Amino acid sequence: MKQCISAVTLLVEDYDAAISFYCDRVGFELVEDKALSLDKRWVLVAPPGSKETRILLAKADGDVQLRGVGHQTGGRVSFFLQTDDFYRDYERMRANSVVFLETPREEAYGTVAVFQDLYGNKWDLIAFA
């Protein structure tokens, strides 16, 4: 039997702003953008070459979900973006105004730096050793 995680939900305030950030600034691809109703869309983004796991950009609905935007993991790193060339992606993302919260550091497991998305969610950009 084979299983995989096909999508992880990320609460956002605005579909188009989130698509712009992840696709134009981080470098993800827009996998799908389908209207479900007047207010809801099915929006999937993924890193280039990613075949299984995608991010479902879900527009927050109501006060409880709006309060969760940017705080889904209580201030911890939420996601880990693995790359095969850390400095290529780090420099490209910085040139696209992605905010890094630290300078790159070398750890026993590889090169890593924390960045934040447009809502403040923390991500690791990481290249494993």
3 state DSSP class of 97: coil
Average pLDDT estimate for 82-93: 98
Distance between CA atoms of residues 30 and 68, nearest Å: 23
Both tokens of 110, joined, read 């590889």
CATH architecture of 7-127: Roll (3.10)
Taking only the tens place, the pLDDT of each residue in 24-79 is: 999 999 999 999 999 999 999 999 999 899 999 999 999 999 999 999 999 999 99
The first and second tokens of residue 39, run together, are 């207010």
